Amino acid sequence: MYKNFVLIFPVDGYFARVEKLEFENVDRGQRSGMPRITATVSVASARTHQMLNKVPEVTLYFWIIKILCTTVGESLADYINETLGFGLTNTTLLFAVMLIGVLVAQFRLRRYVPGVYWLAVVLISVVGTLLTDQLTDGQGVPLWISTTVFAVLLAVVFAVWYARERTLSIHSIVTRSRESFYWLTVLVTFALGTAVGDWTVELTGWGPGTSVLLPAGLLAAAVVAWRFGAGPVLMFWIAYILTRPLGANIGDYLGSSHDDGGLGLGTLGTSALFLGTIIAVVIYLATTRKDRTELIYDID
């Protein structure tokens, strides 16, 4: 029996590439009784035109931090914009500049670095939230229009991404082009998730606690669909969108006053609590490397 595949992993500054792995049955008379395994390996310098996947493995830690980031995006934006009185436009510009700086650092890296990656997600969650707030609060655009616009924009980004790269999988973010599409998609999903979440609350009139149930239920349905064979890429992006209103509604529940049906932590307390949790989890992942993929692809 022969099994051919490519497996690439870093070894002491070099890339070891297992290109062919052969299993041959041996005679029962031999002592081991085990198949003979032959591997063809090539080694390349880490300085060649190759890069590690720039996105973490999709594990439970991934979704925990993602939800925490969306909560921070809601609460931190509200705190700086409303509590500190910084203003919607100034808050948007501040976080946009910070996001650009972090994305520049992210794009210069050749592998996934937890601290930089998740800092970019936190900032992009804030910017995505503020983009929707700019349309709704700043320009008076109805939420159903914002939802429609961002949904169409997301469909266009997906269409162009797939037409160019023939994949929407986050397990192949190994080129500058794919990484650009990835971060643009993430930004639009945060804006869309904000619009959908706010529109749902507007339509239903639900309080902070009750509003958590709908996105949580839809997210659970997406997980069940995935378990029963639904496309993993499609289910991933649906879940990615749904975690935005889920995290935002959790933030509203924690930060809202008791009179409004919340826990009364305030936007500052909620932001501090979740930022501290994010930092703790990211440090843990950076130390253990539990969410790091080691696949490498040529990008010539």
List residues bridging with 39 in a β-sheet: 21
Select from 191, 209, 220, 190 the least CA-distant residue to 249.
209
Mean pLDDT for 191-217 is 88
Digit-coded pLDDT (tens) for 139-196 = 999 999 999 999 999 999 999 999 999 999 888 888 899 999 999 999 999 999 889 8
Please name the residue ranges forming H helices in 166-297: 176-204, 213-227, 232-255, 266-288
How far is it, in rounded angstroms, from Cα 116 to Cα 118? Answer: 6
How far is it, in rounded angstroms, from Cα 237 to Cα 230? Answer: 12
Most trustworthy range by pLDDT among 42-51, 93-102, 244-253? 93-102
pLDDT on residue 7? 46
- Identify the H or E element spanning 81: none
Mean pLDDT for 254-272 is 85
List residues bridging with 15 in a β-sheet: 10, 44
Q: Average pLDDT, whole number, for the chain? A: 82
pLDDT reading at 295 higher than 50: no
pLDDT on residue 247? 86
For 179, the token pair is 């990484």
pTM: 0.78
How far lies 20's CA from each of 24, 227, 295, in Å? 13, 32, 16
285, with CB counted inside 10 A (0-12, 13-18, 19+), is buried
**Of the ranges 4-18, 178-192, 199-213, which one carries the lowest mean pLDDT score?**
4-18
Q: Give the count of beta carbons closer than 10 Å to the beta carbon of residue 117.
A: 20
pLDDT on residue 180? 95
Strands 14-24 and 36-45: antiparallel
Digit-coded pLDDT (tens) for 64-78 = 999 998 888 778 888
pLDDT on residue 243? 92
pLDDT reading at 49 higher than 70: no
pLDDT band at 46 (very low <50, low <70, confident <90, very high): very low
pLDDT on residue 42? 41
